[in-house]
């Protein structure tokens, strides 16, 4: 896959804004950083579908909207359905010659949170990818159902406390490991999947551009720090995201055509995961003596995942 040139910081800052400010996302929410970068990294016409979630309810409060592009919202679970339906309609009209500008470049994008992506909307996403629709699905992964009360999702990491997996006298929070959606989407045969982070903005922009230029269904999982449910100061969003990537709690990599794995970011110094955990209120209970074993389990999982990613990268050379 050819490496796409990335707009420099000046080009990004002077791009026409297609995601307007004055939305109602929480101060410090990373969603707007990710969405803005996607929309500014390309000059293509965009058709965007959004699942119900923080992004949708905070950017389209009738009669106002932050979306200066074609935008569709249907329900909690079916942004992939809306995007794939619009894409199918566009191809049909192009064949029939009924498009106003048949030579215009149009890209189809869907955004969903981890609740709608990993859980409620998984079968719709799975079906759209299996059918081979030409669209890019971006998961804004804040690891909980932030829009509806901070419930656990299958993206919530082990040990985190949520409103439905609370830490207390008899529990240390969520007991199950986080689902590996990147591997699942690669196994579906998606030609491009990646896990990206907004603190590494050039890598993220390049990943978005690769996905938009790739024919067929592409999936990108982006870490999106949630100041409300992760419980940290809004000014520390990027600092916390740095800790996520530098501790390898959230490794940054891509998988091309289901098998070619490339690690896109290697920390010069791997940060102890305790620094990442200790920076958030949702993990503070893990530092009690009776819960230290959970931190050891998290560290073991990080090591196993990083070693697996490196083996897979080396295997293709």
Within 10 angstroms of residue 181's Cβ, the number of other Cβ atoms is 21
Q: Is 268 exposed, middle or buried (0-12, 13-18, 19+ CB in 10 A)?
A: exposed
Contact 174, 165 (CB under 8 A): yes
- Please name which of 188, 194, 173, 124 lies closest in space to residue 293, comparing C-alpha atoms: 173
Q: Give the pairing of strands 218-223 and 136-141.
A: parallel
Instruction: For residue 44, give both structure tokens.
Output: 């293509």
Residue 137: its H or E element: strand 136-141
User: Three-class SS of residue 260?
Assistant: strand
pLDDT, residue 11, reads: 78
DSSP state of 41: S
pLDDT, residue 1, reads: 56
Residue 49: its H or E element: strand 45-50
Residue 134 belongs to domain with CATH number: 3.40.50.970
Domain count, the chain: 1
Contact 103, 185 (CB under 8 A): no
61, part of any domain:
yes
- Domain extent, residue 310, equals 9-315
Q: Give the pairing of strands 218-223 and 192-196.
A: parallel
Q: How far apart are CA 176 and CA 7, in angstroms?
A: 40
pLDDT, residue 317, reads: 54
Per-residue pLDDT of the chain in tens (317 residues, 90 and over written 9): 555 567 777 777 777 788 988 899 999 999 999 999 999 999 899 999 999 999 999 999 989 999 999 999 988 899 999 999 999 999 999 999 999 998 889 999 999 999 999 999 999 999 999 999 999 999 999 999 999 999 999 999 999 999 999 999 999 999 999 999 999 999 999 999 999 999 999 999 999 999 999 999 999 999 999 999 999 999 999 999 999 999 999 999 999 999 999 999 999 999 999 999 999 999 999 999 999 999 999 999 999 999 999 999 998 75
- Please name which of 177, 214, 178, 176 lies closest in space to residue 194, comparing C-alpha atoms: 214
pLDDT, residue 287, reads: 98
Q: How far apart are CA 3 and CA 183, in angstroms?
A: 22
Strands in 218-223's sheet, in edge-to-edge order, are 70-72, 45-50, 106-113, 136-141, 218-223, 192-196, 253-256, 260-263
1, part of any domain:
no
Contact 267, 248 (CB under 8 A): yes
HEC letters along 165-202: ECECCCCECCCCCCCCHHHHHHHCCCCEEEEECCCCHH
Q: Is 269 exposed, middle or buried (0-12, 13-18, 19+ CB in 10 A)?
A: exposed
149, part of any domain:
yes
Q: How far apart are CA 77 and CA 104, in angstroms?
A: 29
pLDDT, residue 35, reads: 97
pLDDT, residue 118, reads: 98
Look up tokens 């699905």; give the residue. Answer: 137
pLDDT, residue 22, reads: 84
- Distances in whole angstroms, Cα of residue 119 to Cα of each of 2, 3, 61, 154, 258: 33, 32, 25, 7, 22
Instruction: For residue 244, give both structure tokens.
Output: 């996520």
């Amino acid at each position: 896959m050819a490496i796409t040139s990335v707009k420099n910081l000046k080009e990004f800052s002077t791009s026409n804004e297609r995601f307007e400010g004055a939305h109602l996302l929480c101060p410090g929410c990373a969603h707007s950083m990710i969405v803005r970068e996607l929309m500014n990294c390309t000059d293509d016409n965009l058709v965007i579908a959004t699942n119900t979630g923080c992004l949708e309810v905070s950017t389209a409060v009738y009669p106002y909207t932050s979306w200066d592009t074609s935008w569709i919202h249907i329900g909690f679970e079916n942004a992939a359905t809306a995007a794939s339906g619009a894409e199918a309609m566009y191809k049909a009209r192009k064949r029939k010659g009924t498009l106003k500008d048949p030579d215009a470049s149009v890209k189809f994008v869907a955004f969903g949170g981890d609740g709608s992506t990993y859980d409620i909307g998984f079968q719709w996403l799975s079906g759209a990818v299996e059918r081979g629709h030409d669209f890019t699905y971006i998961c804004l992964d804040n690891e909980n159902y932030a829009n509806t009360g901070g419930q656990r999702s299958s993206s919530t990491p082990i040990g985190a406390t949520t409103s439905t997996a609370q830490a207390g006298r008899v529990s240390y929070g969520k007991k199950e490991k986080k689902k590996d959606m990147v591997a699942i989407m690669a196994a579906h045969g998606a030609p491009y999947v990646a896990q990206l982070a907004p603190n590494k903005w050039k890598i993220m922009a390049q990943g978005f551009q690769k996905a938009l230029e790739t024919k067929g269904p592409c999936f990108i999982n982006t870490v999106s720090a949630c100041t409300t449910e992760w419980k940290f100061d809004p000014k520390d969003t990027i600092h916390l995201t740095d800790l996520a990537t530098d501790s390898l709690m959230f490794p940054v990599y891509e998988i091309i055509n289901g098998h070619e794995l490339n690690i896109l970011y290697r920390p010069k110094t791997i940060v102890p995961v305790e620094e990442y955990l200790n920076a958030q209120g949702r993990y503070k209970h893990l530092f009690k003596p009776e819960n230290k074993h959970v931190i050891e389990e998290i560290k073991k999982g990080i090591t196993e995942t990083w070693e697996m990613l490196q083996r897979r990268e080396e295997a293709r050379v």
